[in-house]
Chains A and B, each alone.
Chain A
Amino acid sequence: MIRFLEISNQTLFWYYLASNLAYLTMLIIAVKTSALHQHRLESHRLSWIKESPMAPPITVLVPAHNEEASIRVAVRNLLELDYPQLEVIVVNDGSEDRTFEELREEFRLRPVRAVYVPEVKSAPVKGLYRSEVDAGLVVVDKEAGGSKADAVNAGLNAATSPYVCVVDADSVLERDALLRIMVPILADPKRVVAVGGIVRVLNGSEVEGGQLRRVRLPRKSIEVIQVIEYLRAFLIGREAWAQGNMLMIISGAFGLFRTDLVRAVGGYRARSIGEDFDLVARLHRHLREKGADYKIRFVPDPMCWTEVPSDLKSLARQRARWQKGLLDVLWPNRDMLFRPRYGRIGFFALPYLWLFELFAPVVEIIGIATIILAAVLGVLSREFFLQFLLFGYAFATVISMGSVLQEEITYKRYNDWKDVVRLVSYCFLEHFPYRQLHMIWRLQGLWQYLRGDNVWRPLKRKGLASARVQ
């Protein structure tokens, strides 16, 4: 038993070290890549893209389910985005409230028989409408499909542009978001097939007429901690993975894809829990199997702001869902692991996700259990344990501070001193008890999935109410 505990604790130590070293490596890559990106942007003036006749058309797809409170403002903002050739398709996904009526009144919709070819599966479409106010706006009214993926698929069938950008109806986009996300595509249109945009936390910021006026840190601790998590995940994780062409997730709140490829892989998987991750995994698989020379890129410029859960219950549900989504994608794609055909995806990206994302809560709980058991049996070196704890704490703080530093040296959207001080403070405070709670939520997610509870459920959001609406 004692031998088992020793081995277990040693394994935990090396696992934890490897996990943090991986993140440290990603931090170094991300800092370097961000600096390069900033330099590159100097030669790529966004106004030049706007004027270019070569900028390909984009269709923005907006799935909307019961969004009556914010749909007018959201769609108006999308129509005002800076981009030369823009089509906006709002998919009313069987809303039970006045979402459709709001759209019809605001944009004077008239029925059209636009050629809707159901190339990818979705719930039946009741009608198609075009705005008399702005010919670039099309509304697809469909029966509820039970998932966001189903709604996006309907929009995909109506899209007429070579690129589609999927956007959440309750997200706030910066005016130049599309110009920025197109930069990698315009630089290498043959190879870049998808681009992920950064998603930042909207809670606490000042919003006027649906547009972001001033970025502020949210008031609640739970929201501030999520700000740090988002910075860490996007500015370090995704930036570094994309650099190695191993980006596995493009956030459902803001991502750009080549339309023909999304159609070729059958669109979004309607029953998927993590539909955004699932789509990117299938794109990798499809392109690797074809032996295509392709790139999936990430743009770290602040572009999309979205609301995050502001209470523990919603956050717990969201994180459990993310963990379920992770397993829901990793399991069907397990055949990609360590197969030369799938290259770096099979050898690095997927094993990392299995080991340090999916199994992380399991390893953590086993670690805690064995440490307690070792303490009970008197075989735990108290000195080593405390040192290990302190090391883990300090190391994790370095990573969080690194993400704040990334934000500071690149985009610097939190201009208020108070916000920065709070942000830095939470880098030290997020580890207890948030991290442990997070572990429990993720374990719950795994447990729910294994018990067969794998139905997609939307989260309840406040809309722009979480921001300080002017």
Chain B
Amino acid sequence: MGSIFEKLWRLSPAAFVLKAIVVAIVADGLLLAFILLRRTYRKWYFARRDAHVFELRQIWEALISGQIPYERWRKKPFDRRIIESIALDEFETAGPEQSARLLKFLRASGLIEKRIFEARRLTGWRRMRALVALGRTRAPEGIPALAEGLRDRDLEIRLAALRGLGRTACPQAAVEILAWVGEVGLAVPALPLQSALIQCCAERPQLLLPLVQHAEGPLREVLGRVLGEVATPSLGLDLLQFVADEREELRAAAARAMSHTEPNLAFEVLNELATDPVWFVRLRAIISLGGLGDPRAVPTLLQGLTDANRLVRLRAAEALVGLRTEMAPIFQHVVEIRDRYGLHAYLTALENANLQGKLEAELQASTKITTEERQRLESVLQTGALPAEEAATAERIPDKAGLRP
């Protein structure tokens, strides 16, 4: 038996081309017919749908209040789809009162039950659609069905279930997600998992702690990041165990989380994390220190201004500018450390916060600095450059990390 190429060759180009022409012309005809038929059908469908949406909108209040019996439209798939889609769209933007009303309607009309049934029984894209709709209802009774969706073989369906659980934003959903994660590990990309957990754990971040303690590898990092987002002062002491963790992501998460805890405790820990060898741990610590707004952080933040990493310098400058304390002494320190990059970052933060005028006024009114010193500081503020003799010194300061700028 010859190969396909031999058969093609035996046909000779002319005969092959002749057949190909027929195929191509038929394909052209079919494509054209498909486009035209599809357009015609869609035109008819959308005209019908629009008319129907309009009719249903007119009686919307009667529909959701149950004045019009649900049985009248529930068995008509076309009507049911439209009503569900209107209700879910309204749900996205509704306030608490309207949300409760819509949820009552979705329950009473059996739409939630139907979606739960579909989410459990259907497969493929239809299951995904049911999970998305169920998630959009944010109904707690949908959580078990959504949790089952997490165990689907198809990644897209797992993601739909995860996002749906995230939408419910309740601890019960967090429990389901964490149980599943504990069972199978990281079976979805990190970001959707983090988003869902942030939404669900906001109320009870303690739920995360046991799993973070026992998780390993990338999952530990992912959960640590979530912990950093949702931490509250109540977690204070529990967070301390992660400050010295071997994983830098977890140390960064602890630094992020510490800004939400008791200030005295956080201050000590963040001071320590601000000298971490990993830049993004230092960055997180500096941002959190800025968030605390404690003037005791000034020396650490000044140290941050001379950091080898650009982002750390910028955030340290922003934190310094954001402190609710006298600006003139801080500026004096910034000039004294004789770091061009640090000065530049500080002046940028000052300009971005539009506080240049305030600093100028403070410098003029200050009685703690000499006239000569004041002139020197004003000159630095206006020119953005260190005085000549000091700049020369600044050039001599070695770049220990060798990483600048």
Contacts and interface: CB of A to CB of B under 8 A. Distances in A.
Contacts of B31: 398, 401-402, 404-405
Given A48-B167, A52-B195, 15 more contacts: A47-B92, A54-B198, A114-B348, A115-B310, A117-B405, A160-B311, A384-B17, A387-B21, A394-B24, A401-B32, A405-B34, A408-B35, A408-B38, A420-B35, A424-B35
B132 A42 contact: yes
B24 A395 contact: yes
B345 interface: yes
Contacts, number: 122
Given A387-B17, A398-B27, A401-B31, A53 B156 contact: no
Interface in A23-51: 39-40, 42-45, 47-48
Interface size, B (range): 35 or more
**The 6 residue pairs across chains A and B that have the minimum distance between CB atoms:** A394-B24, A43-B160, A117-B405, A401-B31, A112-B351, A387-B17
Interface in B306-347: 310-311, 313-314, 341, 344-345, 347
A314 interface: no
- Chain B: interface secondary structure? helix
B117 interface: no
Interface of A: 10, 13, 39-40, 42-45, 47-48, 52-54, 110, 112-115, 117, 119, 130, 135, 160, 186-190, 381, 383-384, 387-388, 390-391, 394-395, 397-398, 401-402, 404-405, 408-409, 412, 417, 420, 424
- Chain A: interface secondary structure? helix
A118 to B, nearest CB: 8
28 contacts: A42-B132, A43-B128, A43-B132, A43-B156, A44-B159, A48-B163, A113-B348, A113-B351, A115-B345, A117-B310, A187-B189, A187-B192, A387-B21, A388-B13, A391-B24, A394-B24, A394-B25, A394-B27, A395-B20, A397-B28, A398-B28, A401-B28, A405-B31, A405-B35, A408-B39, A409-B38, A420-B39, A424-B35
Nearest to A43: B160
A10 B35 CA distance: 36
A54 to B, nearest CB: 5
A43 B159 contact: yes
Nearest to B124: A39
B229 interface: yes
B25 to A, nearest CB: 5
B32 A424 contact: yes
A53 B125 CA distance: 28
Contacts of A53: 195, 198, 229
A117 B345 CA distance: 11
B156 to A, nearest CB: 6
Contacts of B32: 401, 424
B163 A43 contact: yes
